[in-house]
């Protein structure tokens, strides 16, 4: 379940990055190579299940990491998941719908 959540989270963030670039919300940034950001567990569990540090995009966007993170979150398909921005991090907390879906998959495909 852990890897599936990570995959869903980074996929949503990367799709949102592409949408934010298309909407000219990421400063000078004109393209993004998928797979260049990594997902980590926040040191503080209050921030959520996962986080991605977007600070590395600042050299391309030429804007501050918090502005980058806020612009990206604006385009994330959130469903019932929670997203928040702390400094240059986008934090993710899985919602009930996602968790229920993942649990269902586990019961359907036990290993």
pLDDT digits (tens, 9 = 90+) for 55-95: 999 999 999 999 999 999 999 987 888 899 999 999 988 76
60 is written with which tokens? 């391309």
Count CB neighbours of 101 within 10 A.
Answer: 13
Task: Write down how long the chain is.
Answer: 111
Average pLDDT, the chain: 86
Q: Is 91 helix (H, G, I), strand (E, B) or coil?
A: strand
Mean pLDDT across 39-62: 92
pTM score, whole prediction: 0.82
Categorize the per-residue pLDDT at 105 as very low, low, confident or very high, splitting at 50, 70 and 90.
low
- Whose tokens are 């799709």? That residue is 15
Q: What is the chain's Cα-based Rg?
A: 14
């Amino acid at each position: 379940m852990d890897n599936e959540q990570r995959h869903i989270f980074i996929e949503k963030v990367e799709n949102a990055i592409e949408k934010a670039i298309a909407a000219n919300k990421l400063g000078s940034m004109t393209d993004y190579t998928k797979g260049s950001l990594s997902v980590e567990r926040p040191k503080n569990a209050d921030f959520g299940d996962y986080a991605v540090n977007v600070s590395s995009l600042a050299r391309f966007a030429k804007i501050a990491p918090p502005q980058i993170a806020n612009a990206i979150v604006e385009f994330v398909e959130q469903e019932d998941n929670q997203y928040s921005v702390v400094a240059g991090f986008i934090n993710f907390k899985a919602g009930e719908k996602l968790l229920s879906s993942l649990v269902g998959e586990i019961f359907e495909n036990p290993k």
